[in-house]
Structure 1
Amino acid sequence: LLGVLANRLGRIVDRSRALRAAGAEAVARAADEMALLQRRSRLVHAAIRYCTLCALLICVVIAVLFVGVELGSDFSSLVAVLFIGGMASLIAGLVCFLREISVATSRLEDRPPPPPPA
């Protein structure tokens, strides 16, 4: 999942660079597209943050379970809280991902169809 998100972010950055390289006049004409790319970038960054937090929390869950077994202690409440936090982070990351996809495809619906070939 993180690979998919990083790939989408890379495509957004590449498109933004291409628009900026086209010159100041082209950037002014494409201001709405730049705003859309910035919004998409923020959503992908949020999704990456949440999904990374999920992975970290699940790693901590595994470590706490291991330590609990080795020490003969019951950390079930801590494990439950960490796991719920991890799942909440995953859900938030996936919601951000879906929203980014929605923003990206909404632009396609707004465009008029291309003219037929002559």
Structure 2
Amino acid sequence: MLKINWSVWDNNSTVSWDFNANSIRVEMKMPPLGVANLKSKSLIAIFGRFDEFGSSNLLLYSYEGILQRAFKAPPLGKCSQFTSVSESNGIVSVGIGFETDSEWAEKSAQFNVIDGTLTNYHRSY
């Protein structure tokens, strides 16, 4: 079983996990907003801070620690960025936060980890 060594409460800019007797470490300049194990895809999803990555803040790493893809949040408004990633029954969902008319808004959508397409947009609250 893969265990991610990171918590939002730690305020740590290093995400690490053990895989096949190797200790994997991913260093960021700033602590990421969140980390998720996408088990059915064998990927670790890290969504970083807008200040560090801009809208391209969703990073997918292989279990071996190799960056597979980086995705840019859709331009739904100013400062559009990924705010969450989760998986349920093999379906990956993301949250997207953005400013519209000086207010913060969020939407959720299903996410394709291969090509980054988003479907089934809906309010996340």
Flag whether TM exceeds 0.5 (same fold): no
Q: Which has the higher contact order (CA 8 A, sep 6+)?
A: 1
Higher strand share: 2
Larger radius of gyration: 1
* More helix, by proportion: 1
**Range of TM-score over shorter length:** under 0.3
